[in-house]
Structure 1
Amino acid sequence: MNKIIITCLTTFFATIGLIHLYDNWYIDYNLRKYSVYYAHNMEHNEGTHPELAMALENMDVIYKPDKKNIRYREDGGYTINKNFLDSEQFSINYNRGEKELLYGYYDITYKSYYFNGAFKLTRAYDSSVGHDEIDIKTVDQEALYKEIYNNFGFLVEANVNRKPLINMQKEFNKKYYKRFN
């Protein structure tokens, strides 16, 4: 009798443990892989760009289209470089090692723009005349975001319509709603 109870309890706890591991791993993977889709379908404040933030943050699991003059780097952070005529270069990155979320965009005029976790502009620098800080109030942010999407929006477009088999929009909203609102 005791052997039967011990066997049943062991089987029960092993099954519960496996279900728990599967749920935790699959939910996290699903939220990361389809993060651009979920971000696109989530309500967010004007001026935040959750689709691009999620695309950069989860670049290791989302679909990355092969495009001419585009190079993906995943060494310590995620970087996408776009080259034209072997001289003009645009670059956008996400640094995983920072204490706070930080995204950077670098254009051909040697200007650097830094964004917070909601992908709102927080700092800007002009390296062409030294490392002078630019007042972000003087930056045409709408034109800047348009330029960024012009150069790197293909990553969002490639993932925004990739629907998950199991829709976990509610879980995504629980996790990221405050960040983008």
Structure 2
Amino acid sequence: MYRAAEPKPVIRRMAEELGAHHEALHSWIRQASTDVRPSPPQKTRRHRHPRPRHRRRDPHSGTSGREGDPHRVLAEITDTDPHTAPATARELLDQLIPHVTAPILLHGEDSGAWPVLNTAVQRGLPTRIGLEDVLHAPDGTPTHDNVTLVRFARLARPGSPGRLG
């Protein structure tokens, strides 16, 4: 999108239009100019993987076994207020769980990322964290790599020394 635009838009303005942080967009553009591989698939809410056509339902897998059923559902909480994001996540989960058999991966954005991660851990749900989601540690300190974010996220797991939240 950026490379195709003429004249080149200001990165901050384009990032704002896309709802992304300008540093993340700049990093993506820089990475895209060095990548040789084809573009990644567009981000979707349902991740599908090929399966055999006639598979019996495995009650522990979270899928019906029918072709086209989602492997998992990505529940992305866009409420960035750290005080209200967990409640938003719980409301969404309460609506999804009765109707979805696939595992639900829960994650948040910006200042809501860490509280939503804690909600996912409390509910025993899969979650994710990375610079795409948040650019700071739980204490507000800026982070510059995914490794640091993942280290903090691992502290949120039950039984972790120095447990978060």
Question: TM-score, with normalisation over the residues of structure 2?
Answer: 0.28
Higher helix share: 1
Of the two structures, which has the highest relative contact order with CA contacts closer than 8 Å and spacing of 6 or more? 1
Higher strand share: 1
Question: TM-score, with normalisation over the residues of structure 1?
Answer: 0.27
| Larger Rg, first or second structure (1 or 2) | 1
